Every structure is written in C-alpha cells, then in structure tokens.
Amino acid sequence: MIKTIQRRFVVTAMIAISVLLILLLGTINIVNIGMVGNQIESKLAMISESEGNPDNIPMDPIGMPPREPYGQKNDYDIFMSSNFFVVRFDKNGNIVHTDVSRISSVSKQEAEELAEKIYIDNTSSGKIGNFEYMVRDSRIGFGKVAVFLDTSVDIYSYIRVLFLSVAIGIACWGLMLLFVILLSKRAIRPIAENIEKQKQFVTNAGHEIKTPLAIIQSNTEAMELYNGENKWSKNIKEQIARLNELMKNLLTLARMDESSANLNLSEFSLSQVLIDNTECFRDVLEPRKVTLKTNIQPMISFRANREHIIQLISVLMDNAVKYTNEGGSIFVSLERNDKRIKLQFKNTCQQLPPVNPYKLFDRFYRADEARTQKNGGYGIGLSVAQSITETYKGKISAEYENGDTIVFTIRF
C-alpha cells in the first residue's frame, strides 16, 4: 500500500513536471523560431530593396550607415554578413544579369536555374531549398529582380537551440525524477504513518475481539448442553460466526496491505483450484434452482499463495450465491490469452445496485442495507478480493450487463 501511494505520488509529480517542461521548452522554441523567421524576412526585404547593391542602402547625411542601439547590427553590416545571389530579368522574362559574388556554394548556372523556376511559377516570395526568395520590380523601371537569401545558418541556429533545449530538458527531467523519488518518502510519511496505525489497530482489535467471542461461543455451547438449543442460542452462534468471518476478512485486508508480507508463493493449477472451489457451491444453489455454468480452460498454472487464491474465488462465488435471484444463473470462466489470465464471474440478480460498479469495492459499502443483512453480507468481501488481486499485480473490475447481470473480471 505504501509503495503504491509513493509510486502514484512520483508519477503524478513527474506528469506535472513533464507538462511544465514541455510548455516551457515548447514556448521557448516557438518564440525562437518566430524571431528567426522575422529576422530572415526583414533581412531579405532589406537586400531585395537594395537589389543586392550596398550602394542602394540608405545612409545618413554624412554618408555613413545609420547607427543602431548598442549590440545591434545596422543594415550595412547585415548586408555584408549575408549570403545571397541576385538574378535580373528583362520585361520579357529573360535573364540579363546574375550576381553570385556574395555566395560561394552556388554557381551561376545553378542560380539561373533556380531563378527560372520561380519566374515560371510566378510567385513574388517563398522558399526553395535552403533559400528564401523575393521578386520585385527593378528600381530602374523595367524587368524584375529576384533575390535569393541563404538561410541555412539561421535554420541551423534554431535547430541547435531546439536540440540543446531538448537535451537540457531531458537532463532536468532526470534530475527532478531523482529529486522527487528522494523526497517522496518524506512527502507521504504522514499518510504512511496513518495507514500503519490503522493496520495496527485492526490487527490488535481483531486479536482482542477473538478472545471474548471464543468465550461467548463456549458459554453458549455450555448452556445448550444443559438447556438444549433454542432460537436465542442459535442466533448467538450465528452472530458469533458472522463476527469471526468479519474479523478474518479485516485481518486479511491488513495483511494484504503490508508490502513486506510473506506470501509463500508456489506454482499450482489455477484451473483445478477453480473447479474444486466452484463445484462445492452446487448443493447450495439447487434449492433455489440457480444454474451454475463453467467454462474453465484446463492446464492454466499460476504462481501465488494458494490460500489467497482460494479465498479470492470463495469471496466472489459467495457474493454471486448471495445475490443471484431465484431461478437465475451463475457463469464462471477462466482463460489465458497472450500470457494474460482472465478470470470472470457473472451472475444475474433481481435488481442491480443503484451505483457505479467501482463503488462495490469500497470497504463496508452496502447497496441495499436490508438485503445485505438478509444475505449475511459484511460489505467487505469485495474489498478483500480487490486487495488479493492487487497483491499479485492484477486488476479487478465490475460492470453491469443486460440490465440484470453483474460481471466481475480479474486479469493477471
């Protein structure tokens, strides 16, 4: 139980940390990509406006590029540090000039082929390979000028930021996982202490109650030796039996919750155990005309504490017997698929509980107080079944079918 709570605490904390890291790193990279994209567009617009000629860049009155705030490049510096090529077209679409002096990775022929392609597509701007391009009318009044800006450095820049942020994020996630694991014991310590006190209380109370119950039972049997059995002595023994069964279930729950419990595991035939522990209920069902059907796949073995599995089967069969309507039916099946074991109990009933099926596993839950008392239920049997199932890494679920059938499914 404590390990389960600790594991859930770690999982919940790491989900929250993961979401926070994803949002943080995602926002950083989205903003970075947007800023780089804006810088590329601004740079391309400036170079296109100057048609690839630094003499066309606006200067201040003394013939110098305008000064920018400290740390920022002016247009002239940006121009001189950019890799681009320029292709000029006449009014008929013929290439009249190609300038590849500002880039060494593209030949004149390659530049003209790219320019002809985008001229045929008749687009004013876009992206082709690693180049962003812009086409505009020539400053001298005829033809067009196409400027191709190499953006590979900018692309590498935001890819580098992306990989660095992901690497740092993974490292931080790992450190936070270690940090959360180390702190999880301290975080759940109050809960663990409370659970431990509850288990200790149940264990102590169970052992303390056993003694007076044994004395009451022996005194009742002694009175019957002298006065014979009567309805009062019979009722006393029935209630003693109920209390003994209740204490047995409570002690089972307390032991199941202890992670350090000695389970005494062994390999046995689950198929045979299920057959043996379902067939013994047929005699109880006959007077009520309840049909018991089984579909048990043979030769299914399971490693567990045999007594725990017998108790699990007994709890679910006893539950089915108590609440199956007269003339109804009970169906028990066992099968193995893809290395998973599926154990299922179905029974019809007069009226389904008016709650969600998962509520049936709550300790001391009773859907119908009068019916529970009539059938001798404690409201704890299904909790025992759930605890036993979870001890062996299994899952138990309940669902309603056809408006009159309840199904309990266990998967190991």
C-alpha to C-alpha distance for 44 and 176, rounded to whole angstroms: 43
- 310 domain-assigned: yes
CB of 307 within 8 A of CB of 296?
no
CA 164 to chain centre: 27
Record the tokens describing residue 9, joined without a space. Answer: 């605490």
State yes or no: pLDDT of 377 exceeds 60. no
Q: Are 234 and 304 found together in one domain?
A: no
Strand stretches in 159-284, DSSP E: 266-269
What percentage of the chain carries pLDDT values higher than 90?
A: 27
Q: Are 270 and 398 found together in one domain?
A: yes
**348-356: long-range contacts, CB 8 A cutoff, minimum separation 24:** 348/324, 348/404, 348/405, 349/323, 349/324, 349/325, 349/404, 349/405, 349/406, 350/325, 352/400, 352/403, 352/404, 352/406, 353/406
Q: Each residue of 149-191: pLDDT tens digit?
A: 999 888 888 889 999 999 999 999 999 999 898 888 888 778 7
State yes or no: pLDDT of 255 exceeds 60. yes
State yes or no: pLDDT of 146 exceeds 70. yes
CB of 79 within 8 A of CB of 149?
no
State yes or no: pLDDT of 343 exceeds 90. yes
Chosen domain end from 221, 238, 256: 256
- 38 domain-assigned: no
| pLDDT value at residue 257 | 57
DSSP output for 264-300: --EEEEHHHHHHHHHHTTHHHHGGGT-EEEEEE-SS-
CB of 262 within 8 A of CB of 305?
no
State yes or no: pLDDT of 20 exceeds 80. yes
Q: Are 222 and 270 found together in one domain?
A: no
Give the three-class secondary structure for 51: coil
Record the tokens describing residue 391, joined without a space. Answer: 């001890």
- 113 domain-assigned: no
State yes or no: pLDDT of 70 exceeds 70. no
Q: Are 379 and 351 found together in one domain?
A: yes
- 161 domain-assigned: no
| pLDDT value at residue 371 | 40
* Containing structural domain, residue 279: 266-411
Q: Are 247 and 315 found together in one domain?
A: no
Which is it for strands 291-296 and 329-337: parallel, antiparallel or unpaired?
parallel
Q: Are 384 and 345 found together in one domain?
A: yes
Query: What is the enclosing helix (H) or strand (E) of 131?
Result: strand 131-137
How many structural domains is the chain composed of? 2
| pLDDT tier for residue 8 given thresholds of 50, 70 and 90 | confident
Chosen domain end from 256, 275, 293: 256
| pLDDT value at residue 51 | 86
- 406 domain-assigned: yes
Record the tokens describing residue 296, joined without a space. Answer: 């048990």
Mean pLDDT for the chain? 83
Q: Each residue of 258-273: pLDDT tens digit?
A: 544 566 788 999 999 9
- 128 domain-assigned: no
The residue type of 44 is L
Q: Are 211 and 323 found together in one domain?
A: no
CB of 318 within 8 A of CB of 357?
no
C-alpha to C-alpha distance for 203 and 332, rounded to whole angstroms: 33
Q: Are 242 and 310 found together in one domain?
A: no
- 3 domain-assigned: no
User: The CATH number of the domain where 367 resides is what?
Assistant: 3.30.565.10
Q: Who contacts 156 (Cβ-Cβ below 8 Å, separation ≥6)?
A: none
Q: Each residue of 52-63: pLDDT tens digit?
A: 888 887 766 655
Q: Are 378 and 282 found together in one domain?
A: yes
pTM: 0.54
Q: Are 281 and 214 found together in one domain?
A: no
Residue that the structure tokens 């202890």 belong to: 258
Q: Are 298 and 338 found together in one domain?
A: yes
Sign of CA dihedral 75, 76, 79, 81: negative
Q: Are 240 and 312 found together in one domain?
A: no
Which is it for strands 125-128 and 340-348: parallel, antiparallel or unpaired?
unpaired
Q: Each residue of 297-342: pLDDT tens digit?
A: 998 999 988 888 888 898 899 888 888 888 899 999 999 987 889 9
CB of 110 within 8 A of CB of 148?
no
Please tell me which residue, 76 or 291, carries the higher pLDDT value. 291
Chosen domain end from 192, 225, 256: 256
C-alpha to C-alpha distance for 205 and 198, rounded to whole angstroms: 10
Instruction: Tell which residue, 394, 388, 387, 391, has the closest CA to residue 409.
Output: 394
State yes or no: pLDDT of 22 exceeds 90. yes
- 177 domain-assigned: no
